[in-house]
Structure 1
Amino acid sequence: MTPPRSLIRPGLTVDVIQKHHQASGQLTRGVVAALLTNSASHPHGIKVRLISGVVGRVQALVPAQG
């Protein structure tokens, strides 16, 4: 189950899957810059843009270090 939109905020570190990596399942880790999905949930994950410019769907939240 992917995290709901209510748990995702700019500044959080997340693992996303990019469209062209869906077949392989390769995840990309980064910091959320903006949420692109308006609905509360999505079966494939909430779409976000990372600070790096990568756009993907959130698969997991990365726990804060410390």
Structure 2
Amino acid sequence: MPPARSQIQPGLTVDLVQKQDQASGRLTRGVVAALLTRSPSHPHGIKVRLTSGQVGRVQAVISPTGGEHNPG
């Protein structure tokens, strides 16, 4: 299950899937600029905008050490 909204905040590095990559599951890594989903959780992941301007749904939060951080 993707991380909840409470686990995501601006400045975190995340892996997300963009709309055009949903079929392939291709992940994009970037730094969160803004959270776009208002609900506490979403079955496909919380939608965010990255600092690069890309938009997608978060699949995993990447810890500062570079490993995945996906509690729960």
TM-score range, shorter chain: over 0.9
* RMSD (Å) for aligned C-alpha atoms: 1.0
Percent identical pairs in the alignment equals: 73
Whole-Å separation in 2 of the counterparts to 1:12 and 1:28: 14
Gaps of 5+ in 2: 67-72
Asked if 1:64 is matched to 2:60, the reply is no
Task: Deviation per CA, 1:39-66: give whole Å up to 9, x if none.
Answer: 0000000000000000000000011128
Whole-Å separation in 2 of the counterparts to 1:23 and 1:5: 23
Residue in 1 that maps onto 2:11: 11
Residue in 2 that maps onto 1:44: 44
Amino acid at match of 2:49: R
Whole-Å separation in 1 of the counterparts to 2:20 and 2:9: 24
Asked if 1:25 is matched to 2:7, the reply is no
After TM superposition, which residue ranges in structure 1, 4 or more long, deviate above 2 angstroms?
Answer: none
Task: Deviation per CA, 1:7-34: give whole Å up to 9, x if none.
Answer: 0000000000000000000000000000
